[in-house]
Structure 1
């Protein structure tokens, strides 16, 4: 929800009386007085989306057509399509993307002297390659071998309930999946004074509290997908849990307990003699002594540590608080070793064994996984010295910056984009944010107070970040940290700096390789979360090789550059501000886009005034 001062609402309108002398500007003021107030109400109290109709269907050849209907956009314009607009309803489709309808006005009915007598509200249809930009999304279209497929991927309008949080107000709208209505989506909280009867499926995005006052039970899904029950709940009948159930406390089982689903289940049942019978696998907290041997078919989930022993020879594997796997004694490795996403072939392991053995000639070299990890980290540190920075914004809020060694290193961005060779040679090393700028960081800089989540800051435009008459985020950030910065200065990354840091020395589709299936471990995007709600908390997935988190997916990230051909990027690594287009570069994809947009080389662009709930940014500063 934008500030009311942005709307320039007229505080007065013409007064009409007999004998009044009227000018053209009087009628213009009357129109602006009414229409601007109407737009402001539409923008503030309604959510952008389809009101009715506007169905997209395939027509002959490579064309689609929309039906009559209406929508409201995020600027409060009412878009109406009826029979008088038949000539505008058809759109030729030549590429994959999303069908958008946008509001526009057209002057018509020319009179003597060349002036147009009327202004007619109209609309514009187009196919975009991303969900960024203004207008209302109607459908997704794909083109394959001359055939067009229309996929129902539309956004419906709803109502916005204002509150003290401004643009973080609660919204209610209907939603569809696979072309069928699925119910009502509520962003925020819902309080029901009496009772609620639900016939069908309930989709809970955050938590559900049952009961009243001190007699209540709260069900909440954790970030790992487990269902947490904060208080006791009595269940008469059967309970079906699709994923996993975490119970902290005592479980009283009257008969038997079956864990799992379908053929992958484990049943615990007490026999008449008091023994516990386990029909399939079971998770054990505590110690387990096996007299003979243990055969495990499938995955072993170790909560604390695992000790393997025979006679007096033992090896303990334990995860540290930082997520690293510690090996307290030696373990022999035969074959390949996979560490996170780094697959080390046997020959490489043997080479490391030899080097470690030569470095310790008087000792018996026991090459453990930890020894190999320590060796790799030492080699990387020798070639990429750590000079990372951490800035204190106050109240315990930090801004972490990763040092990127770039000076004098040739970077052929042209070939990476399947274009002519275009080599960038950076003049300086630079620092780049470890994470996108978060809500709590943004609020601390702009408002001087704590508040907000560790989610990327969204609904902020390029101009809000860089050019806002002395009140931009970057200007206020540099003023706040002037003492800590010294000679440094925060800015947005150039497009070449962003891609160089994103790739982290790789030349594959993604910075970890070419496998789309691996992307969900590193990025939030539409396929990894089929029912997305908003941007996700930063740092929850794996980083790239240079320790940058969420640089693919989650939110589109603004670059300083104006949009132009890739071969027009300055060869010294600075931003391209000389292009004729006013649009600014966006990189990285978002939680609301497909995996296709999360490629390291994908380029999007948008108007510098554009704000949206999947547009964000991260900052850099030069050494």
Structure 2
């Protein structure tokens, strides 16, 4: 076979292909026929060689605010140039979102009475009382209604809608509750109490994996689904309709929680017995200060691409880190705010790491 004959099939093959040249007026992520082609940069054309025919093109902005999808036909052209115009529509959507999150929404518009009435109605609807317990081994749980709120720091809020009601521990898991787990679950690990002593203290020195194992055991004991909270659920439950830095106001104040400079007798010394401070509007104690609480989510540096439906963010991010919230008795006040985020390696056990559980409701 001659050299020229060898080239004929390749030419024929190339004649059945075309180049799609994509340009965009803002950075986005690109999918072609459900295959991830990564980032498409503003003013940086990208050439893709594709077979002749129809191809499904999908682009989405980095923050997920705007997504476009279309079918691109490639016929006999050698090259097709397509300009992806996102900037104008994105600016309109962003302005609308900023207007929306710049003022109270959802539960933030309700009075204290309305919030608590909604709690009661939600509990009644699913056949529970507002505060309940699934037997002697289980913690006290509080019903939290579905609703919307603005999540995050004042300069970077976005709307989250908790689509389903859930229950959350009235207090962090205590030493007494963990002792029950050690005894009945026949586990070998009994966390150090830091020489503080007291069954009504929050259990500490537990890792994220320890917390998961406890939730799994409790689910088996009760026949219900216990789990760690998502980060979005935690902030929703913590705020309880508030829009301030702390759920009681914009200042740390005196004796509202257990952290540095909070005026409590335990500040910078040790954890306090659970329930030592007034609850938030939902009736939850110690959501800020006392101990850091492990959450389900993988650590991400910011909220770009985060779910907006209250579910945990369990993809991408730093797979070696998990989110914690709430601050502790040793934290500065700025770390014990509703919006503050913290992360840690899930295997670490620390003197101020603890947990609070959620329970999935019907």
TM-based fold match above 0.5: yes
> Which residue is equivalent to 2:325?
587
**8 A Cα contact 2:219 2:226, kept in partner:** yes
**8 A Cα contact 2:294 2:325, kept in partner:** yes
| SS of equivalent to 1:562 | strand
Residues 157-200 of structure 1, C-alpha deviations (whole Å, 9 max, x = no match): xxxxxxxxxxxxxxxxxxxxxxxxxxxxxxxxxxxxxxxxxxxx
**8 A Cα contact 1:561 1:577, kept in partner:** yes
Q: Is residue 577 from structure 1 mapped to residue 302 from structure 2 by the alignment? A: no
Distance 1:530 1:432 in 2: 25
Q: Is residue 617 from structure 1 mapped to residue 355 from structure 2 by the alignment? A: yes
**8 A Cα contact 2:326 2:338, kept in partner:** yes
**8 A Cα contact 1:412 1:422, kept in partner:** yes
> Which residue is equivalent to 2:169?
433
How far is 1:512 from its partner? 1.1
Distance 2:113 2:308 in 1: 33
Q: Which has the higher contact order (CA 8 A, sep 6+)?
A: 2
| SS of equivalent to 1:608 | coil
**8 A Cα contact 1:446 1:473, kept in partner:** no
Distance 2:303 2:112 in 1: 35
Distance 1:429 1:536 in 2: 29
Distance 2:148 2:358 in 1: 20
Q: Structure 1 531/405 Cα, relative in aligned 2: closer, same or farther at 3 Å?
A: closer
| SS of equivalent to 1:475 | helix
Find the partner of 2:218 among 469, 473, 477: 477
> Which residue is equivalent to 1:400?
140
Unaligned runs of 5+ in 2: 1-110, 124-129, 186-196
> Which residue is equivalent to 2:29?
none
Find the partner of 1:546 among 282, 286, 310: 282
How far is 1:413 from its partner? 1.5
> Which residue is equivalent to 1:492?
228
| SS of equivalent to 2:234 | helix
Aligned pairs, number: 230
Q: Is residue 390 from structure 1 mapped to residue 132 from structure 2 by the alignment? A: yes
**8 A Cα contact 2:227 2:359, kept in partner:** yes
Distance 1:412 1:380 in 2: 16
Q: Structure 1 498/381 Cα, relative in aligned 2: closer, same or farther at 3 Å?
A: closer
| SS of equivalent to 2:139 | strand
Q: Structure 1 473/452 Cα, relative in aligned 2: closer, same or farther at 3 Å?
A: farther
1:522-537 map, 5 Å: 522-527=256-261, 528=263, 529=265, 532-537=268-273
Residues 82-128 of structure 1, C-alpha deviations (whole Å, 9 max, x = no match): xxxxxxxxxxxxxxxxxxxxxxxxxxxxxxxxxxxxxxxxxxxxxxx
Distance 2:278 2:337 in 1: 16
**8 A Cα contact 2:116 2:281, kept in partner:** no
Distance 1:607 1:412 in 2: 28
| SS of equivalent to 2:218 | helix
Distance 2:206 2:112 in 1: 38
**8 A Cα contact 1:524 1:553, kept in partner:** yes
| SS of equivalent to 2:120 | coil
Distance 2:281 2:321 in 1: 31
How far is 1:442 from its partner? 1.2
**8 A Cα contact 1:535 1:591, kept in partner:** yes
**8 A Cα contact 1:503 1:600, kept in partner:** yes
Find the partner of 2:210 among 464, 487, 504: 464
How far is 1:378 from its partner? 6.7
